[in-house]
Chains A and B, each alone.
Chain A
Amino acid sequence: MSRSALVGIAAIVAFFGVATPTFLARRWQNAASVRLEQSEQEAAASAGSGEQVAVAAEADENYCTPQLRTILRRVLTSCGLIGASGRGCQPVQARSVATMSGDDFNALFLPMQGRGGIIQFDRDSADLEEIDTALLERVFADRQGASYFFVVSRASPEGNVEHNRDLSRARAEAVMTHLQNEFHDPELNQQVGLLWLGEEFAQLSQSFCDWTRSDGAGTCDPNTLNRSAFVAWIDCRL
């Protein structure tokens, strides 16, 4: 074969050599463009059908039944967390907004056993001890996706009603003050609902002895159980 023919063949080989990456890259680019166009069309179609990516939201557990939401909304509204001004619920208010018996009211909190605790006080005292603050901080820090933190304080039936009402209020406020001092959360007022019930409404029954208590090692009878502030996060969206 003549030299010029060989050179010609070499030139043809060179042409295919340079054309191969050029052609392949363009082909891959064009295929990607077609796929992009298709995916945009599909995205436009799915936008109308309501398909959405997961968006960050507060927790909403299964125990948040419509009935519980209704009561929560009433309580939170009356207690100043939603809409209205002021802070805390008087026992009478709690009873009226709950529109249920004390036992039924307490039953609402039963599903939250793993999310709450009972801060126990000494008799006729609203002072938090170290074991109390430790439990309070632990429960509060484990907020997860909960929207509201409930502090429901009580007093044992010893003493007069008025005194016990004030005592339970002092206990609720002691808890709130500690949370403010410890966590410096500017949104605390929108998170924490205070209810002080004195001895007048929804006394805790012995079944709550199973809950985590700050004085877990001590005896658990109705009197010691109700010298307390019940604290729990509620994983319900309203």
Chain B
Amino acid sequence: MSLSRVLQGLLAIFAMAGLFFSGVSTSDFTAHLDRQTHGLHCSFIPGADTPDVTGSSGCHATLMSPYSSVMRDSIWGGVPVSLPSMAVFAYLVVCAITLLLLGKETEKRATGYQALAWALPFLTSCIFGYLSLHELDAACKICIGIYASSTLGMVTSIVAFARARSGAPLAAAMKAAEDDEESMVETLTPRDESYGISLASLPTGAEDTIEDRGFESPVRTVNEADDTAAPAKRLRLATASEMDRRLRAGNVNRRKTAPSGPAQTSWGALALAFVVGLAFVLIPVGAYAANAPNFDHFVGACGTLAHPEDAGHVLVPLGPQTREATMIEVLDPLCPSCRGFERRFSAHPAAEQMSRKILLFPLDGTCNWMVDGAVHPGACVISEAVLCAEGDADEVLAWAFEHQEEIRTETTADAGAAARMVNARFPSLRSCLGSARVQAQLNRSLRWAVANQLPVLTPQVYVNNTRICDEDTDLGVDYVLTRLLSRDLGRGAE
């Protein structure tokens, strides 16, 4: 088997690997359309270990991020980007198989197009890899499988193209053919016919090439390129009359065409291949969008705040407070889901339309009697720090989100760690942190939750006092925010 065919086989395998990883990712994503929580297959060998149900894996952070899907405003959860990824890898599998079937694996244009096609998942992987590491600070093993498949495919496809471009496969084939007497045929290609002359019929020294006007001999090209291999060979041109004479004498036989490489793929064929590629992506995406569930009836169906007034000044304003729509978010600064929501919300245009306030609800038994033990150790101290910061609350909150794992881990080992970390980062809060006044203020925050009979969980989001269902605070948040805002604006207009 030639190296070019091996390369195509490898490309098919890499594309199938990409298809597999993308498929696992799409499967995990669509599982959430039942509005439940699910464990995720976050492994290089999906299914080899038990799905992660803690929500702390890199795959979870990536899946719940605003980058995991598109068209989120119009479709609940959006269309997962892993679905077009599946389609592209399926297309690349088909590409490799088609090139093998049609013997185009050594053809320059076909392999060049194939390399360009691999550039799509490769560049996309570069972008998503960057977002994953720098924006999400998460390493998603399934995604890494996709990135690796794309990179290997990209490199292999470039090698395949380079071989086709240099003509190395053709030269190798021709060199091999020289050893085969049956193949030592001189090829004439006038219009659509090939003619060969048996070596035995030619006079000594005339065995190389016969060429006449109107005939094209690729053998000549090979000989020119391979002068070192046959330095002693001479080139003799046959006249048309000589050819005719030999043909009549039966000394020129119709033979199979000698190895000469595949015919060049036409631009039209490549354009068709591109259109087929588009169809590969558009058909599954369109089918997914058409089959997407309608969750409109869940919007605003999870109740309202009974006592939204804030006589005790427990709600902490974040950002401008002059916008028409209001949002109250019940959060724990050390809750990973709250951080995830923060990222999704801040990436949504609705964030620019709302006056936002937060209610601190640390899931830490140190200050919150509604929680057994510390779900998020250190959350009470960090909540106090947010209250102490007053106008700079958003800065403390952003820092806490960024260092959640570190704060939780260190506070689990040493109860005073959270306070030390806050004091080191925000020295101006030292006198306030742990004071009776801020503790009482935090207690009033928790009592606001009691007065409103809020569920003991975070995050909870209220837009114009209407609660966004918990199931809608992750993948469905764009869909619900868009509808809640347009509905309330519609009411305002009436």
Contact = CB atoms under 8 A, between A and B. Distances in A.
B292 interface: yes
- Say what secondary structure dominates the interface of chain B: helix
Interface stretch (B47-55, B88-96, B167-175): B88-96
B446 A56 contact: yes
Contacts of B446: 56, 145
Contact of B444 (A39, A145, A182, A185): A185
Interface string A2-30: 01001101100110011011101110111
B97 A10 contact: yes
A10 B216 CA distance: 31
B30 A28 contact: yes
Interface string B80-93: 00010011001101
Contacts of B370: 54, 56-57, 145
Given A56-B449, A56-B450, A140-B436, A29 B97 contact: no
A93 B287 CA distance: 77
Contact of A144 (B30, B367, B444): B367
A143 B438 CA distance: 12
Contacts of A144: 367, 369, 443
A188 B57 CA distance: 45
Contacts, number: 150
A123 interface: no
A62 to B, nearest CB: 13
Nearest to A8: B101
Contacts of B455: 53-56
A26 B437 contact: no
Contact of A24 (B26, B94, B439): B26
Interface size class of chain A, counting residues whose CB lies under 8 Å from the partner chain: 35 or more
B473 to A, nearest CB: 15
Contacts of B280: 17-18
B312 A186 contact: yes
B454 interface: yes
Contacts of B94: 10, 13-14, 17
A33 interface: yes
B306 to A, nearest CB: 12
Contact of A55 (B288, B291, B454): B454
Contact of B101 (A6, A30, A36): A6
A137 B26 contact: no
Contact of B312 (A3, A25, A137, A187): A187
A141 interface: yes
Contacts of B97: 10, 13
Contacts of A138: 436
Nearest to B98: A10
Nearest to A186: B311
Interface stretch (B31-39, B141-149, B331-339, B425-433): B31-39
- Which of B439, B449, B457 has its CB near the most chain A CB atoms (within 10 A)? B439
Nearest to A59: B369
Interface in B470-488: none
A36 B456 contact: no
A182 B90 contact: no
Contact of A18 (B284, B437, B444): B284
A21 B83 contact: yes
Given A26-B287, A53-B455, A33 B34 contact: yes
Contacts of B102: 3, 6-7, 10
Interface string B99-113: 001100000000000
A100 interface: no
Contacts of B367: 144
B264 interface: no
A58 interface: yes
A31 B29 CA distance: 12
Contacts of B452: 56
A140 to B, nearest CB: 7
Contacts of A141: 435-437, 439-440, 443
B456 A56 contact: yes
B279 interface: yes
Interface in A111-157: 137-138, 140-145
A25 B437 contact: no
Nearest to A191: B447
A36 B283 CA distance: 25
A39 B280 CA distance: 34
Contacts of B444: 185
Nearest to A56: B449
Interface in B247-300: 276, 279-280, 283-284, 287-288, 291-293
B56 interface: no
B373 to A, nearest CB: 14
A44 to B, nearest CB: 13
Given A22-B284, A24-B23, A39-B36, A32 B439 contact: no
27 contacts: A6-B102, A10-B94, A10-B98, A17-B91, A17-B93, A18-B279, A21-B90, A22-B287, A25-B26, A25-B86, A28-B27, A29-B33, A29-B288, A30-B291, A32-B32, A36-B33, A36-B34, A36-B293, A54-B370, A55-B454, A56-B449, A138-B436, A143-B440, A182-B437, A183-B436, A183-B437, A187-B312
Given A14-B276, A18-B284, 4 more contacts: A25-B287, A53-B457, A56-B456, A145-B450
Closest 10 CB pairs of A and B: A145-B369, A141-B436, A32-B33, A28-B30, A35-B34, A137-B436, A17-B94, A21-B86, A141-B439, A22-B284
Interface of A: 3, 6-7, 9-10, 13-14, 17-18, 20-22, 24-26, 28-33, 35-36, 39, 53-59, 137-138, 140-145, 182-183, 185-187, 235
